[in-house]
Amino acid sequence: MPSVRQIWTAPEGSAPMEASERVRAVAGGGLAGDRYCHGRGYYSPYDVCQVTLVDSGAVETVRERYGIDLSDGRHRRNLVVDYDVVDLLDTRFSVGEAVFEGTRRRPPCAHVEEVAGEEGLADALSEERGGICADVVEGGEVAVGDELGVVERLDDPDALADAIRERREK
């Protein structure tokens, strides 16, 4: 089963990312203690992602292909998971006690490169290696090692119809 490998937050925009073993996901807000949950992100309020995810395989590819080690959180993404995060777009998925919805890709930008102090980082994180944004649908604790599971695919009409039918039967 895919799982969370690392958790990162930053208290404000451009601040260094801080590793955690566990964090609380806040419904409709993001991760407790993170810049975007508190409206202090670099792009707040114009381009906000409640939570960002990146595939650990993409981080490894950046290290191997570009010689850039991002194991210290300079990728500026909240959750590093061993799963192709692009497959989580238009999907509800659980991690620990929380439920998220993958909303859009999170392409790298010049700001990531500037804050990381690593020339070429934006290019290294391109081609689907930049991760995705997700909204917190249901809050709860998330910890390193927690499994990631798909709850429902929102772009699959049959799955959505089944989910609606199940909710009505409750």
Domain residue limits, the chain: 4-169
Look at residue 163 and tell me whether its pLDDT is greater than 80. no
| Mean pLDDT score of the chain | 87
Average pLDDT over residues 79-104: 97
Fold for domain 4-169?
M1 Pyruvate Kinase; Domain 3 (2.40.33)
Kindly report the CA angle at 79 between 68 and 119, in degrees rounded to 5? 25
Please, which pLDDT band fits residue 14 given cuts at 50, 70 and 90? confident
Cβ neighbourhood burial of 13 (10 Å; 0-12, 13-18, 19+):
middle
Please, which pLDDT band fits residue 121 given cuts at 50, 70 and 90? confident
Residue 44: HSE in the Cβ half-sphere, 13 Å Cα cutoff = 16
Look at residue 89 and tell me whether its pLDDT is greater than 70. yes
Residue 122: HSE in the Cβ half-sphere, 13 Å Cα cutoff = 11
